[in-house]
Amino acid sequence: MSFQQLDPPLPVHVLDRGPGYAFAVIDYGQEHNLIWVTAINDTGEIWCAPNPRVRLQANWTMGRARPPAVAAARDGSCAPADPPVAAQAV
């Protein structure tokens, strides 16, 4: 496991939670998603969000548009669900 503090924090959008700043990343290894430790702007809550639920915020200067999943969630549409987990052989 590794824990990496982000300096500066990254502006992200956590699906179903809202925009915020990721200030750390936890990596549990190759069998797991990265975990983004994020402070949510609207509520002040700290969430540890798995990688499939985190999107970079739009940035006009960098030419990055709002991610489709974020736009769909804001418009009241159904946001894409987490990808299905593949069955593991025992």
Q: What is the pLDDT of residues 8-46, one digit of tens each?
A: 999 999 999 999 999 999 999 999 999 999 999 999 999
pLDDT of 79 above 50: no
Kindly report, residue by residue over 44-74, the tens digit of the pLDDT: 999 999 999 999 887 788 888 877 777 676 6
Alpha helices in 1-90, H assignment, sequence order: 68-74
User: Could you tell me if 42 and 59 are in contact, meaning their C-beta atoms sit under 8 angstroms apart?
Assistant: no
